Amino acid sequence: MDPVRYRILGTTQALRPDGTPVPVGGARLRALLTVLALRPGRTVSAAVLVDEVWNGDLPADATGALQALIGRLRRALGADAVESVEGGYRLVAASDDIDLHRFERLAGEGTRALADGDPAKAAAALDDALALWSGPALADLPDRTAEAAHWETRRLHARCTRLTAALALGHAESALPELTALCDAHPLDEPLQALRLRALRDAGRTAEALSAYEDVRQLLADRLGSDPGAELRSLHGELLRPAGSDGGARGPETRSPGADRARAAADGTRPSPPPPGNLRARLTSFVGREKDIDAIRGDLSAARLVTLLGPGGAGKTRLSQEAAEALAPAPRDGVWLAELAPVDDPKAVPEAVLTAVGARETVLRGAGAEEMRAVADRHDDPLTRLAEHCAKRRMLIVLDNCEHVVDAAAHLAEALLERCPGVTVLATSREPLGVPGELLRPVDPLPEPVALRLLTDRGAAARPGFRVEDDPEAAAEICRRLDGLPLAIELAAARLRMLTPRQIADRLDDRFRLLTSGSRTVLPRQQTLRAVVDWSWDLLDETERDTLGRLSVFAGGCDLAAAEAVCGPAALDVLGSLVDKSLVVAAPSGEGDTQMRYRLLETVAEYARERLDESGARGATERAHLTYYRELARTTDPLLRGPGQRSAIDVIEREYENLRTALRHAVAERDEQEALCMVHSLAWYWQIRDQRIDARAWSLEVMGLGPDPFAPPARPAAALYERCTDFPPPMREAVLEEARRGVHLIHLAYMDMDMGAWQTPQAQEKLRAISMTYEPGMPQTCRAPGYLWFYAVLLTGTMERFTEVINKTVSTCRELGYDWELATSLQMRANILANRADMAGDATVDADEALELFGRIGDGWGAAESLSARGEAHERKGDFRAAAADYAEAAEYAERLGARAQRAVLNVRLGSMYMELGETERGERMIRDVLATGHGAHNEAMPAAHLFLATWLGRTGRTDEAREQIRLLRQDFGAASFVLFDGFMLGVEAWLDAIDGQCESALDKARRALGAVDRLSRMIAPHMPSAHLMTAAIALNGLDGGGRATDAARLLGAADALLPPGHVPNPMEVEVREQAESGARALLGDAAYEAAYAEGGGLSLEEATALV
């Protein structure tokens, strides 16, 4: 059977013939495809399309909007997929191309096959039909209620028909789970209930069928005030008749222990006694935790009191029962479960345990009237009676849910352990019992793979056919955001009856409203997620509640100092209590395990935030949080520039979510000075960690909190010797003005991925204003972020102006004794000069001095950048071995700092050097590894890796692979516009076309590459135009049967003449030039070539470009 082309039974999708999805982005676009797919091959009027796609929210130009949407759909599906016909549009598709219509056909075939007495054929057709569903019908139709209800009813009918076929095939037992789930969802559907009763009967579970009938009868009476219909009453009569009285076949009969004993008495044998204990059979499968069970078994062999400790919903009860049942050998006198959750009065705990272990039965069984009166008159302490009962027994008692009666449970456990040497206790609680000898076994949330298995299992029970593989991203998000808590995952799985995994994941911000569909047979506190957390909250005192609420403002946890600053000095004692009660998770921070870190599970955090809002304390708490983390950022920032650099990086990384939360709060409150202080304090960390997106986004947000300091008329800045973050806010006026300028400069520095944004007249005006605001050598331009004004000079000025600015910065740093700033300025100057062969020697000198300074200061990141700049200078001069050594040493610095993006850039450069040095396999592997890992995705590492690999592949004859690298580069970085990369990319594509003989295309791309050469390109890479001219020369040699060879020779003459003084060509340039020259000489002869070459030497770049 051919695959469907369009899916509307779930999220609307279009599929290629191989089954892979075609991207159909946007809710409106999917709605349009849904409306058309409902009517395949039929004309749908424009009026109907507008009405159903926009659902009353009509655009101003409905016709134009529809035409634009149709155009987008055609671009997604193909121009021929949607036809324009008179009066509307038509989806070119057969009915069977649409999952909904194929479902209708297959469901009809299955129903007819069952009526014809062929259940096997019916089952096959109905399985195929139901497998087409991937979610709620018509999920992307804005007003889907009526239409979707119709198809959901058809789906239910198909499921019932399939289950009827299963019974006819003798598969009653396997059909029961789905039937039970359907009956739970549709309790008043009498035919469905009748089908379940038949399945129970056919499975030999007649007693359960009779009990189920009584439940249905009672439900109908309560809800509808009516009796069961004729079908159910007739079936009830059949169930009451003795098996075989009607000659009909029946399934195997269920055997009860009572029946076994009766049969044993009849044949004179003694039945084996049932195992002692009161553990009940579980109704659902047990997923994961195998290692936990093994660990608990070991705990129980080493300690007589083991407490399973964990938050509500972690699965402690189920784990305790599974572990108890798995004991081998089992205790001689059994395993006994005492459920303490229903016990409201701590004094009733011993009585509850007495009842659970059957101690009353021991006392009263066989007693006469006098003995019973004596027992009733004794008024013994129930704990004493329990101890007497257990004293000579070897047994395991499971005390389940101790937290609300923890003192009483502890007293009972201690008494039993002291008086009953053969007793072992396994307790579950949200806090320790605190009894001597207690061994605590934390019950952690499920790891993601196990959580996904649980979701799969419970989801399939709620919605047969559910698989996490259908939407693994949403399933993983559900498990992660629910903290791996089994109860929460089970509640989410129950919602799969009506929602898709993606819908559930998207609604988890309101999880307490969403997760309310627990089992009706468990205690009320386990039926909803809110009730689970309510139970823990109600056990807290006021101080604990206040602290827990305040802890909810932290993101990613906190250390003790932060908790005390935000929650108050009582935090130390209260945190310990909240950790004991499993509401706060404590774990080592990772810094040599010398500090503990405290965090809330996401579910607890959301609940605590609600309570904090109710208390009215959120504003003051968030202000305390902002103040603490502003100071953490401000005081850590200077440490990023010295020997404590790695530790300072670790501090900011560990607290980064809290820092972002504090900054978000400052922006939301429009507290400009706090926000400015935080952005300035984090700017260098963003630079070191290459967090360009955050730097760009946050600087833009904070720019909007105050006036634009560069708005006309331009105002010259006054010299400022202090940093903007030397003191906490409030800032004095001069500092505030400089801080505002600084945040604009930070934003400018991170716009290098979108240089086109600076080409508008308004942007150019702003750049000129920035360049005029400062004078070279001002103290604030020596420091971050003031030094970033050189970007404005670079984008608006000349090389001479830029050189003046950077040189004056260096000299001012020397005069003022700014060692770190001097090293940074030298390293920056080396970076710029390294790209120019005529200045590469100066770059080496600067890099050497910067490296010495950074080494003395203890700044590893600066040392790596200095080595990288020196390596580029060596590379530009053709000393590849020296360049490789510098890149390798720089990469070691980056590795020690955990600077993955910096390491990626260095590995790309190092790999390119290995290839030039003859270690081709090693070099190519290094570059491919960078592409595979994705580190440096937001800096030049990835595009550079694609470009370097493309040129190497082209040089080694693998042009198809080279083109694929360029395609990937355009795909992944199409929105980016790194300096020089656009022109370089076109130049590489032109060269690949030229060496493949595609000369017209090569010439066109070379022409465009030359057109992309601007003032900035000539400043930074003055050799680039010559490279493009050489590529164009290769292409000209191949045109018009060699008739353009003279122009090719002229281009080579121009290319050589336009190179900067002292330029050392790299191997690729040498190869390109040799190919161009040899081709032209072969076509022209030496004399003609030399003449044309000499002529070209006198051409300007514009004149040479005109030949292309």
92 and 115 fall within a common domain: yes
pLDDT, tens digit, for every residue of 796-842? 877 788 888 989 999 999 999 999 999 999 999 998 888 766 665 68
The neighbour count for residue 593, using CB atoms within 10 Å, is 9
Supply the pLDDT for residue 809: 94
Beta bridge partners of 438: 305
The residue-averaged pLDDT of 980-991 equals 83
User: By the 8 A CB rule, do 532 and 525 touch?
Assistant: yes
Whether 663 maps to a domain, the answer reads no
DSSP assignments along 499-560, one per residue: S-HHHHHHTGGGHHHH-----TTS-GGGTSHHHHHHHHHHTS-HHHHHHHHHHTT-SS-B-H
- pTM value > 0.95: no
Quick one: tokens of 528?
């909803």
Whether 122 maps to a domain, the answer reads yes
| Mean pLDDT computed over every residue of the chain | 85
- Comparing 327 with 213, which gets the higher pLDDT? 213
147 and 30 fall within a common domain: yes
Whether 159 maps to a domain, the answer reads yes
The percent of residues in the chain predicted with pLDDT above 70, rounded, is 90
378 and 461 fall within a common domain: no
13 and 125 fall within a common domain: yes
90 and 126 fall within a common domain: yes
Torsion of CA 1020, 1021, 1025, 1031, to 10 degrees: -150
Supply the pLDDT for residue 364: 38
Query: Which of 392, 407, 442 finishes a domain?
Result: 442
Whether 251 maps to a domain, the answer reads no
Which one-letter amino acid corresponds to residue 1040?
D
- Comparing 454 with 798, which gets the higher pLDDT? 454
Whether 27 maps to a domain, the answer reads yes
- As a whole number of angstroms, the distance between CA 282 and CA 337 comes to 13
Whether residue 245 has pLDDT greater than 70? no
Supply the pLDDT for residue 377: 43
762 and 804 fall within a common domain: yes
**Residue 1061: φ, ψ to 5°:** -55, 140
Q: Alpha helices, DSSP H only, in 243-312?
A: 257-267, 290-302
Query: Which of 403, 420, 442 finishes a domain?
Result: 442
Supply the pLDDT for residue 344: 80
**Residue 440: φ, ψ to 5°:** -95, 130
- As a whole number of angstroms, the distance between CA 31 and CA 26 comes to 9
380-417 burial: b if 16+ Cβ within 10 Å, else e: eebbebbbebbeebebbbbbbbbbbbbebbbbbbbbbb
Q: Which helix (H) or strand (E) holds 22?
A: strand 21-22
297 and 363 fall within a common domain: yes
pLDDT, tens digit, for every residue of 189-211? 888 999 999 999 998 888 888 88
27 and 44 fall within a common domain: yes
410 and 503 fall within a common domain: no
Supply the pLDDT for residue 509: 78
What range defines the domain where residue 1029 resides? 980-1108
Whether 713 maps to a domain, the answer reads yes
Q: Which helix (H) or strand (E) holds 236?
A: helix 230-240
Whether 671 maps to a domain, the answer reads no
Supply the pLDDT for residue 519: 54
489 and 453 fall within a common domain: yes
Whether 933 maps to a domain, the answer reads no
Query: Which of 391, 409, 442 finishes a domain?
Result: 442
Q: How many structural domains compose the chain?
A: 5
| pLDDT tier for residue 330 given thresholds of 50, 70 and 90 | confident
425 and 452 fall within a common domain: no
- As a whole number of angstroms, the distance between CA 1055 and CA 1013 comes to 14
Supply the pLDDT for residue 755: 58
The percent of residues in the chain predicted with pLDDT above 90, rounded, is 43
Quick one: tokens of 538?
């109600």
Instruction: Match 């310990």 to its residue by tokens.
Output: 576
155 and 14 fall within a common domain: yes
